[in-house]
Amino acid sequence: MIKIQYGYVVAALLLFLSGCTSLDKHPVYAEEGVAINGYDPVAYFVKNAPVKGSEQFKTEYEKAVWLFSSAENKAKFEDKPEQYLPQYGGYCAYAMSHGFVVDTIPEAFTVLNDKLYLNYSLGVRENWLEDTKNYIDRADKQWDKKLTK
């Protein structure tokens, strides 16, 4: 019963926040032009943890600045960015499965089938983990719709 009520609260919160971002202007989640809160997207794969990037190791891709914690991670990204890019532009995967574009926090992540998914919060991530296959299928469809508008 608590999970169901929590799910409704999360859904209401996502609905409230959904009007905050437009993919037309921001196809990558980037605060002040810096993607995914300045965290190193490669580190999620090699360290299985969020690691803050550095201005010393930065590159531009998809109209956003990406920061890395090392020259090696920067080189990996530049060689194959599609391998390390977060799904749905770094916006919340759970929210995207419901058709909403919502920001994320670095700690709420999942690497699944060699893909990085970010979430709005750790609580939302718990909901996401309950049925990732279904949410990914739904989010993929929503993402395609939003990109073709």
Residues 13-25 have pLDDT tens digits of: 554 454 455 555 5
pLDDT at 1 (0 to 100):
38
Bridge partners of 117? 110
Average pLDDT over residues 47-69: 97
Neighbour count for residue 111 (Cβ, 10 Å): 12
Look at the block and give the residue holding tokens 């859904």. 11
Give Cβ neighbours of residue 89 (< 8 Å, ≥ 6 apart).
Answer: 23, 26, 27, 28, 29, 62, 143
Average pLDDT over residues 63-75: 97
pLDDT at 4 (0 to 100):
46
Give Cβ neighbours of residue 149 (< 8 Å, ≥ 6 apart).
Answer: 23, 24
> Residue 5 — very low, low, confident or very high, per pLDDT cuts 50/70/90?
very low
Average pLDDT over residues 82-93: 97
Look at the block and give the residue holding tokens 């971002």. 21
Query: To the nearest 10°, the Cα dihedral for 13, 14, 19, 25?
Result: 140
Average pLDDT over residues 30-51: 96
Domain positions in the chain are 1-21+86-149, 30-83
